[in-house]
Structure 1
C-alpha cells in the first residue's frame, strides 16, 4: 500500500515522501495516528495544498522538542528495586516506572515517547532512548539498584554483581583446605568449634 508521510518516520522517510508499506502497518499504525495519508490523487492534491502548513507545524513542534530535550538529555534516573542475589529483579522496570521517575525529577514525558526494547529485569545501568519528536531523540540512563549505596557504586562504574561474586569467592577460599579429606573440617575451623564448645 502506498502512503504519503505527514511526518518523518524512522526507517521510512520524511514529510511528503510517498512510500510503499504493508497494508496492516498503514491501517493499524500510520493512518490512525495521522502519520500518513493514503496515496491517491485526491490526497496528493490535499497534501500539496497544505504542505507549507504541515511543514511549518512540524518545524514548530521540533523546536519545542529540542528545547525540552536539553533538560532530559543525559539524565540519570535511579530506581531502587528488590532483587535476588544474582541481580535478577522481582518483577521488572517498565515504561510507566521510567515516566514516573522522570516526572518526579521534573521532566515531562509521556509513555509513547520512551523506547524500551524489552523490560529491564536485572540490576545495573541501562541506556534508554526517549523520542520527543520524530527528528529529536535523546538518551537517558536508568540506574536500577537494590539500595542507594549500590546505585552510587554503579554510577561510578562498579559492577556490583561482579564485586559481590569476587567477595564471596574470596571468603570461600579462606575456609578451603585442599589437603582435608572429604567431609573433614579444616583445622582452623575445628579449633574454633572446640573453643566455642
Structure 2
C-alpha cells in the first residue's frame, strides 16, 4: 500500500513523501492514521490543497517542541525502586515511570514520547531520550535509587556500589582491629602468668 506522509516519520520519510508500506507491518502502528493518507488521486489532490496549512502547523508545533526541549534537556528525574545489594532492580523502570516522574516535576511528558535504548534494570543514572516532535528530541537523566538519600549521593557523582565497597572495607578494617586488640590482650595475660 502506498501512503502520503502528513508529517515526518523517523526511518520512513519526510512530510509529503509517498512511501510504500505493507498493510500488516509494524509501520502502520508507528505511523498512525493521523500521520498518513492512502496514496490515491483524491488524497494526493487533498494533500496538495492542505500542504501549506500542514507545513504551518508543523512549524508551530516544532517551535513549541523546541522551547520545551530547551527546558527539558539535561534535567534529572529521580525514580525510587527496590534493588538488591548488588544494585540490580527487582523489575525495571518503564517509560510510564519516567513520564510520571517528569510530570511530577512540572513537565508534560507522555510515555509514548519516552524512548528507551534498552531496559533499565540497575541502580544509577541513565540517559533517556524524549521525542517531543518528529524533528525535536531532548535527553534527560533518570536517577534510579533505593531512597532519596541514595539519589542525592548518585547525583553528586558517587556510585552506590562504590559506597557499599567502602563500607565493607571499613567494616573489615574495624573487625581486624578488634581481633588485633583481642590478640594483644591475650598476649598481655600470657605475660602476666610468667
Q: Which residue of 1 aligns with 2:192?
A: none
**2:101 maps to 1:134:** no
Say if 1:192 and 1:108 are closer, same or farther in 2 by CA, change over 3 A: farther
SS at match of 1:78: strand
Q: Which residue of 1 aligns with 2:105?
A: 105
- 1:2-81 alignment, distance < 5 Å: 2-23=2-23, 24-30=25-31, 32-81=32-81
Q: TM-score, normalised by structure 1?
A: 0.80
Count of matched residue pairs: 184
Describe the superposition over 1:70-108 as per-residue Cα deviations: whole angstroms up to 9, x where unpaired: 221111011222211010112322222212211211111
SS at match of 1:34: helix
Verify the 8 A CA contact 2:87 2:160 in the aligned structure 1: no
Q: Which residue of 2 aligns with 1:95?
A: 95
Q: What is the Cα deviation at residue 19 of structure 1?
A: 2.0
Gaps of 5+ in 1: 177-186
Separation (CA, whole Å) in 1 of partners of 2:182 and 2:6: 78
Q: TM-score, normalised by structure 2?
A: 0.81
Q: Which residue of 1 aligns with 2:165?
A: 165
Separation (CA, whole Å) in 1 of partners of 2:55 and 2:70: 23
Q: Which residue of 2 aligns with 1:180?
A: none
Separation (CA, whole Å) in 1 of partners of 2:46 and 2:56: 16
Q: What is the Cα deviation at residue 114 of structure 1?
A: 1.1
More helix by share: 2
Gaps of 5+ in 2: 187-194
Which is worse superposed, 40-49 or 135-144? 40-49
Which is worse superposed, 8-17 or 32-41? 32-41
Separation (CA, whole Å) in 1 of partners of 2:62 and 2:185: 72
Q: Which residue of 2 aligns with 1:184?
A: none
Describe the superposition over 1:21-48 as per-residue Cα deviations: whole angstroms up to 9, x where unpaired: 3332344442x44211222222212111
Separation (CA, whole Å) in 2 of partners of 1:193 and 1:110: 66
Separation (CA, whole Å) in 1 of partners of 2:16 and 2:53: 12
Verify the 8 A CA contact 2:113 2:130 in the aligned structure 1: yes
Q: What is the Cα deviation at residue 125 of structure 1?
A: 0.2
SS at match of 2:26: helix
Separation (CA, whole Å) in 2 of partners of 1:169 and 1:61: 55
